């Protein structure tokens, strides 16, 4: 590998456009190839130094150092393992895999091959979550006591032309959107050691709302409304609500409550947003300027962070151990909902290092 990390993209679905828009602007990263089971999708985005490839050719390519795995969740582990076997670094879209066991197999394979594993979301590297972390670490709210994290919507079938995978294993609001919120909570408050929760599936079927399959009904195979309580190793307690069954709400995204004040954290599905602080000595919410994080970036900055970490011999932040822990927390929460018991979280992870204010 030369000075640039050469990226081959596997899976040209809806999310690929965001990566293809961001990656060309990042230092140390270059997209060289794209592949999809549907060859026409790869051909449609090829050009400007990016060639269309078959999946098999992408794994073998000499000019691909990292495979960006944008396939559906059900294929994440298989694609990652195959890429690792070919000697490539891997960066998966979230979740890392369908199960914690599959995720561990990915990390074990990477350790054996001497390659790195990264995983979305990298939104937590933006100024929103990182500025919030900066203030928490500075003691702006005292000792963190608790947090809330809410993501509620009517579901993605209204706008996504092929939404069925959102309602299969690896989907649902918890596995689809939960990684954004859980990764933010772990970044802010550290790893989770046990969970309790409940879940519901109010509707057995959903209907495609857009695209060529509009009006088609399909089955729901996973819980679509999940609520849980998370105990962090630090002692802080977080309350989580993830739902595809809410038409409207006036809930915050993430808030952290400390002994001296409160912190309002912006949507972790984005990179920026307003961070607001309330302190007992100044009892009003005040918006804080960006103090940390990648400025005005997009999906793919975690790959640039990985490329820089390879060069400097440091740990990349959107890493496999963090993604595995997040997946374990989510899986443990679903297990707690089934058993009715508090469930321990078997994995642990280091809290990723903070990001200084970086303007690309």
**224-267: pLDDT as tens digits:** 999 999 999 999 999 999 999 999 999 999 999 999 999 999 99
Beta-strand pair 192-200/205-207: unpaired
Residue 33: the pLDDT is 98
Q: What are the structural domains of the chain?
A: 5-119 (3.40.50.720), 124-294+325-344 (3.30.360.10)
User: Shortest CA distance to 285 belongs to which of 267, 269, 265?
Assistant: 265
Identify the pLDDT of residue 360.
62
**pLDDT on residue 1:** 41
Sign of the torsion formed by the C-alpha atoms of 118, 146, 235 and 100? negative
pLDDT at 3: 81
Q: 154-160, long-range: CB within 8 Å, 24+ apart, which pairs?
A: 154/244, 154/245, 154/246, 154/247, 155/206, 155/224, 155/244, 155/245, 156/244, 157/206, 157/207, 157/208, 157/209, 158/209, 158/210, 159/209, 159/210, 160/14, 160/210, 160/211
- Give the pLDDT score at 282: 87
pTM over 0.75: yes
User: What residues in the chain have per-residue pLDDT under 70?
Assistant: 1-2, 360
């Amino acid at each position: 590998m030369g000075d640039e990390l050469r990226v081959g993209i596997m899976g040209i679905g809806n999310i690929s456009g965001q990566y293809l828009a961001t990656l060309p602007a990042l230092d140390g990263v270059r997209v060289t190839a794209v592949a999809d089971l549907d060859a026409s999708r790869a051909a449609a985005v090829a050009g400007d130094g990016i060639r269309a490839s078959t999946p098999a050719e992408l794994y073998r390519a000499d000019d691909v150092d990292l495979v960006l795995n944008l396939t559906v969740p059900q294929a994440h582990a298989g694609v990652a393992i195959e890429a690792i076997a070919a000697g490539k670094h891997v960066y998966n879209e979230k979740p890392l895999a369908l199960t914690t066991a599959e995720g561990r197999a990915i990390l074990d394979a990477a350790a054996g091959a001497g390659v790195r594993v990264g995983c979305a979301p990298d939104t937590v590297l933006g100024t929103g979550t990182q500025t919030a972390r900066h203030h928490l670490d500075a003691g702006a709210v005292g000792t963190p006591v608790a947090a809330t994290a809410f993501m509620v919507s009517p579901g993605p079938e209204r706008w996504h032309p092929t939404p069925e995978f959102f309602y299969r294993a690896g989907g649902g609001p918890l596995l689809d959107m939960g990684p954004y919120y859980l990764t933010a909570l772990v970044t802010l408050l550290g790893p989770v050691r046990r969970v309790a929760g409940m879940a519901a599936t109010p509707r057995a079927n959903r209907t495609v709302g857009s695209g060529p399959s509009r009006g088609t009904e399909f089955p729901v195979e996973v819980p679509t409304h999940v609520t849980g309580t998370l105990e962090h190793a630090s002692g802080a307690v977080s309350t989580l609500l993830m739902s595809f069954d809410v038409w409207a709400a006036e809930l915050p995204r993430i808030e952290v409550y400390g002994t001296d004040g409160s912190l309002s954290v912006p949507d972790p599905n984005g990179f920026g947003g307003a961070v607001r602080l309330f302190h007992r000595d100044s009892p009003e919410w005040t918006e804080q300027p960006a103090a940390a994080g990648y400025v005005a970036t997009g999906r793919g900055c975690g790959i640039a962070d990985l490329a820089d970490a390879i060069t400097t011999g440091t740990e990349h932040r959107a890493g496999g151990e963090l993604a595995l822990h997040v997946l374990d927390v989510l899986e443990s929460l679903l297990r707690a909902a089934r058993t009715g018991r508090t469930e321990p979280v078997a994995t642990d992870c280091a809290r990723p290092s903070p990001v200084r204010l970086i303007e690309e």
